[in-house]
Homo-oligomer: A and B are copies of this chain.
């Protein structure tokens, strides 16, 4: 995939087709006082780039897509599963102290809390744990299910969701990570973790030519 910039004549053609399409190549050439042969490269570029589409005996018509739209369509094809990390889970009955230790041992910013059927029941962020650690209570005696964020306040995603959608949720809901889940008869199985680190990696890959 390559980005190209339109020249003035191509912009003009685009405007003519936008206003008058479907329109034949000949009619476009007439309006510009040019020959069809002169216009051929421009029409080829506009069609290849996805701005215009052409049908035999009908002519050129405008697809309604802007250049940036066509580029962002590529980015919009990246799925959660292309970038998700391995989830780190703790049982809902472990202490806040043990959860903090797990967070350090596993070196993650968010833990997912599961019940004894291994289904998602909560989320613990560094912020949640830091807040709890400020309290006067002994951290070894408080179970995580007292301080965790619980359903229905948890944002989840699936492997097939679009990365860009989850990126928006992270920003809009001001959260650091989202559990990737699989719905089963018993509940929500945690199959992955999608964080702002994963988003940063996606951006780096885009800059490194590793995605398109």
A interface residues, Cβ below 8 angstroms from B: 1-7, 37, 40-42, 44-45, 48-51, 66-72, 74-76, 97, 100, 103-104, 107, 109, 126-127, 129-131, 133-134, 139, 163-164, 167-168, 170-171, 174, 176, 195-197, 199-204, 206-212
Contacts and interface: CB of A to CB of B under 8 A. Distances in A.
Given A41-B45, A167-B203, A207-B167, A3 B3 contact: yes
A164 B204 contact: yes
30 contacts: A1-B4, A1-B5, A2-B4, A2-B71, A3-B74, A4-B4, A4-B49, A7-B48, A40-B40, A41-B44, A42-B44, A68-B209, A68-B211, A71-B212, A72-B206, A75-B207, A76-B207, A107-B174, A109-B176, A126-B130, A129-B130, A133-B134, A163-B203, A167-B200, A167-B203, A167-B204, A170-B197, A196-B199, A200-B200, A203-B206
A73 to B, nearest CB: 8
B129 A50 contact: no
Contacts of A67: 1-2, 212
Contacts of A168: 204
B100 A134 contact: yes
B171 A197 contact: yes
A141 B70 CA distance: 57
A132 to B, nearest CB: 9
A129 to B, nearest CB: 6
Interface centre among A41, A97, A174, A211 (most CB of B within 10 A): A41
A150 to B, nearest CB: 21
Contacts of A66: 209
A203 B45 CA distance: 28
Contact of A201 (B71, B133, B171, B208): B171
A198 to B, nearest CB: 9
A139 B134 CA distance: 9
A15 to B, nearest CB: 16
A180 to B, nearest CB: 16
